[in-house]
Structure 1
Amino acid sequence: MSDGLGFPMLATSALTQAIGFLYRRAEVVLDHRAARRTSAAPLPAEQLPDVVVGDPGDALGFDLTGVTDDLAERLESMVDVLGMYAENERLVDSQDERLRRVLGRTRALLEVVYGRRITFVGEDRPASGMRIVNKAGDVHGISRALKARRVSSQASVDVEHTAQVVHRGAEMTSVEIDDLL
């Protein structure tokens, strides 16, 4: 979802918001994994910073079973570095390449965890939103990547739907929406 290293050049105030957002999201993932909870108590309402473009989803909107030991370990190392910046805003410098690499890697890990893009102001990429990947070998019946009854016109969904072979009489539909709001 991200190259893991790329992160946009942002003004210091926007960069501080991005750090806080990614840091908090990473902490939520790690906290819930450490507690080994499959259903979590609701978090206080999250105020999305202005620097986030689109809908990055709910902070608890991830599958805990997908947070492997390796992913958690990598995320913990990113949180250790980001914590220093989150707690000492005067250290934030938009020219800091190390910080931008850590932010890019943290975002890439969180995009895997949440299955969603996380996009910030000024980036040349689709807005934050859901990402669906459906790869099939042989399709004999019906293969759909996304079927929805009602979807907001503001929704951002990236669908990758591929098959090696779609057999005669089979159907492959990437997106089927009944009502666009």
Structure 2
Amino acid sequence: MRTVTYRCDRATQGAAMSDALAFPALAASALTQAMGFLYRRAEVVLDCRAQRSEASEPLPPEEVPEVVVGDPGHALDFDPDEVTDERAERLETLMEVLGLYAENEHLVQEQEERLRRTLGRLRTLLEDVYGRRITFVGEEQRPTSGMRIVNRARDVHGVSRALKARRVSSDANPDILHTAEVVHPGGEMTSVEVDDLL
């Protein structure tokens, strides 16, 4: 059995939040690809939420652009319960802003800071909905796209685990955020516990 145990505090959580809102400076063509990928994902989420997808034909296979690093998962593989009214409204607002950039390509080429902030916010929302990281080229400090596990606890008296699995592939690259405000005496935070690494 392999385990990884550590303790986190609010400072760690704050650093993770600022990282989440950052978006890389990309070449214009790559930025256009990234924007298109995130926009299409947001469309899928909102269409499914409105149940319009049931009346339309199945989605064609998604082409993941080269600017995406790792495995972002399937476009339909998200948790509908995570698409709250608030998140849906924020998705719609961000998509409206991106629509303006699509109509004014020179703003994309100029790498406007507002565009990157908008993309960072949209990515953060989609990562919460999909439960996966979405990482682009040039983000060497960020885990590649893949499974994301978030486990936030207020008080830990016993054992808090983010991931417990019998067998995990060595190719798996889960991104785990495991935090607590207080770990009481005798308490333990075990982020990953794996019996067998394949």
- What TM-score range do you get, normalising by the shorter chain? 0.7 to 0.9
Taking structure 2 as the reference length, the TM-score comes to 0.74
Find the counterpart in structure 2 of residue 157 from structure 1: 174
Match of 2:145, as an amino acid? S
The aligned counterpart of 1:78 is: 94
Task: Please show how residues 26-41 of structure 1 align to structure 2 within 5 Å.
Answer: 26-35=42-51
Aligned to 1:15: 31
Is the 8 Å Cα contact of residues 156 and 188 (structure 2) preserved in structure 1? no
> 1:70, CA displacement in angstroms?
1.3
Matched, 1:144 2:161: yes
3-state SS of the aligned residue for 2:150? Answer: strand
Q: Which runs of 5+ in 2 are unaligned?
A: 1-15
Measured at CA, do residues 87 and 35 of structure 1 come closer, stay the same or move farther in structure 2, by a change above 3 Å?
farther
SS at structure 2 position matched to 1:59: coil
What is aligned with 1:109? Answer: 125
The residue number in structure 1 matching 2:142 is: 125
> Shift of the alpha carbon at 1:75?
0.5
Larger relative contact order (Cα-Cα within 8 Å, sequence gap ≥ 6): 2
- Does the residue aligned with 1:58 lie in a helix, a strand or coil? coil
**TM-score if structure 1 supplies the norm length?**
0.80
1:54 aligns with 2:70: yes
* Partner of residue 5, structure 2: none
What are the Cα deviations for residues 106-150 of structure 1, in whole angstroms up to 9, with x where unaligned? Answer: 11111221222211100131212222222443444x543212233
Q: Compared with structure 1, are the counterparts of its residues 144 and 92 closer, same or farther at alpha carbon in structure 2 (3 Å cutoff)?
A: same
Provide the residue aligned with 2:9 in structure 1: none
Q: CA, structure 1 residues 153+103, in 2 after alignment: closer, same or farther (shift >3 Å)?
A: same
SS at match of 1:46: coil
Cα RMSD for the two superposed structures: 2.9
Q: C-alpha distance in 1, partners of 2:130/2:64?
A: 16
Distance 1:70 1:129, change over 3 A: same
CA offset at residue 15 of structure 1?
A: 0.8
Query: For the residues of structure 2 that align with 1:135 and 1:100, how far apart are their CA atoms?
Result: 28
Aligned residues: 177
CA, structure 1 residues 83+154, in 2 after alignment: closer, same or farther (shift >3 Å)?
Answer: farther
Measure, in 2, the Cα distance between the counterparts of 1:48 and 1:147. 30
Consecutive unaligned residues of structure 1, counting only runs of 5 or more, are none
Task: Tell me the SS of whatever aligns to 1:57.
Answer: coil
Q: Which amino acid aligns with 2:130?
A: Y
Aligned-residue identity in percent: 68
- For residue 95 of structure 1, what is the aligned residue in structure 2? 111
Q: Residue type matched to 2:50 in 1? A: A
Q: Which runs of 4+ in 1 moved over 6 A?
A: none
